Structure 1
Amino acid sequence: MSTWNGIRKKLETEYLAQSLRGHIQYYATSYSKSPDHEGRAAIRYDGNEIIKGCYWNNWMKADLFPKDEKYEKRMKVENAYMDDTALKLGVFDQRCFYNAFAEFDNQNIETSLKSEDLIVRIFAVLDRRVGKRRLALMKETIAEESDTFQEFYAIRAKAEGLL
């Protein structure tokens, strides 16, 4: 796996839409004094963290998870893909970004836009390979998407002059 600096550089220069460069920043860190070097991750828009997560939120906010046995197992044990609930609660960390990037970097943009992992879909909607026509087509079904994805779609559409 690449270093975080390499991943961030790819996300912010190679993949990020020209209209968002300088506005979107990806952030991930691990704390060297923390057990197992746990850390946090965030996506910032003009300096404001739109989504942010930290390993320690997994423990502090566990009682806020939906009371669904499969969901709890998926989030706590399997550390599976991120959904809107996980992103709103901030129960993800830098490893989720690394995993999402690995998926995103190794597939085409169409597959990334349909991924079950919301972080992968966010990377995709901010990607330069998604043009104005594609964004305009997405507007028809954006109401069916999660609130978090809609927020990133709105950021991108506004930057492209579509909103």
Structure 2
Amino acid sequence: MSWSGMRSKLENEYLAASLRGHIQYYATSYSQCPDHEGRAAIRLDGKEIIAGCYYNNWLKAALFPRDARYERRMKEEMAFMDDTAVQLGVFDQQSFYRAFSMFDNQSIEESLASENMLVRIFAILDRRVGKRRLEKIRQGIEGEEKTFREFFAIRAAAEGMAAEGEREG
């Protein structure tokens, strides 16, 4: 599937009605680069909430915690994106494509429980997650990763749910 097809599904088919016109997904390849690497982002009303670039892997490698679990996951599953990778922007358009493929081919329950943070972000913004499920998620939100809490707060606010304390900064 092309990026325009993925973006259309994410923004029109999957995105909650309350977020349509507010959330935009972005991915591009740099055609001048020999390997056509690029960047990806999720924007809220034009402001990038998360953004990643292939070249951030090189720039931030010294900051990224590379324990045995991380190394094993990177070898086994190239689509692995945890909260640290998302916060540091150590992902690119290919990570978006792989995360979308996972999201598009599994249930919303599996996506919400995924170890891939990009998949979880796609899921929390999904129209299939209603207010009752959001209330259930809110009950355990303190134990969630920072990025997931931020996207939960965006979704809760869009649904008119008080999101006191969920969104940091």
For residues 60 and 76 of structure 1, do their structure 2 counterparts lie closer, same or farther at Cα, with a shift above 3 Å needed? farther
Report the TM-score when normalising by structure 1: 0.94
Unaligned runs of 5+ in 2: 163-169
Structure 2 equivalent of residue 37 of structure 1: 36
For residues 44 and 131 of structure 1, do their structure 2 counterparts lie closer, same or farther at Cα, with a shift above 3 Å needed? same
Structure 1 equivalent of residue 18 of structure 2: 19
Alignment of 1:88 with 2:106, yes or no, is no
Structure 1 equivalent of residue 125 of structure 2: 126
Deviations 1:31-87 (A, max 9, x none): 111121000000001111110000000011100011524425645896341011001
Report the TM-score when normalising by structure 2: 0.91
For the aligned residue pairs, the C-alpha RMSD in angstroms reads 1.5
Structure 1 equivalent of residue 167 of structure 2: none
Q: Which has the higher helix share?
A: 1
Structure 2 equivalent of residue 153 of structure 1: 152
Structure 2 equivalent of residue 116 of structure 1: 115
Give the share of equivalent positions with the same residue, in percent: 69
Matched residues, number: 162
For residues 72 and 33 of structure 1, the distance between their equivalents in structure 2, rounded to whole angstroms, comes to 30
Q: Match of 2:148, SS?
A: helix
Structure 2 equivalent of residue 140 of structure 1: 139
State whether residues 25 and 43 of structure 2, in contact with CA within 8 Å, keep that contact through their aligned partners in structure 1.
yes
Unaligned runs of 5+ in 1: none
For residues 40 and 75 of structure 1, the distance between their equivalents in structure 2, rounded to whole angstroms, comes to 19
Q: Which amino acid aligns with 1:87?
A: V
For residues 130 and 9 of structure 1, the distance between their equivalents in structure 2, rounded to whole angstroms, comes to 19
